[in-house]
Amino acid sequence: MPLNRPIIPQRPCFKICYICGREFGSQSISIHEPQCLEKWRTENNQLPSHLRRPEPKKPEVLTAITRDITTK
């Protein structure tokens, strides 16, 4: 006998921009990141030198294989 549970729609998988923190689809993130980084550089360069921050670095993506090797 099947359970009468409501079907919850699955949310699409989004990637988060490491620069601004906004969510983007897997196709649009590769378009967004270079533009976002350029905008960040422009805004950062307009700040007084004592308020400027180092450029954000793209985080390293760990694969399942890498995690298995490092956890053993």
Asked whether residue 62 is domain-assigned, the answer is no
Asked whether residue 37 is domain-assigned, the answer is yes
pLDDT at 71 over 70: no
Asked whether residue 34 is domain-assigned, the answer is yes
For 40-64, the pLDDT digits (tens) are: 999 999 999 999 999 999 998 777 6
Residue 41 CB partners (closer than 8 Å, separation 6+):
55
In whole angstroms, what is the distance from residue 3 CA to residue 72 CA?
41
Nearest to 58 by CA among 37, 27, 31: 37
Asked whether residue 55 is domain-assigned, the answer is no
pLDDT at 72 over 80: no
Asked whether residue 18 is domain-assigned, the answer is yes
How many domains is the chain partitioned into structurally? 1
List of long-range contacts for 53-60, beta carbons under 8 Å, 24+ apart: 56/18, 56/19, 57/18, 58/18, 58/33, 59/18
Domain coverage including residue 35: 12-49
pLDDT at 19 over 60: yes
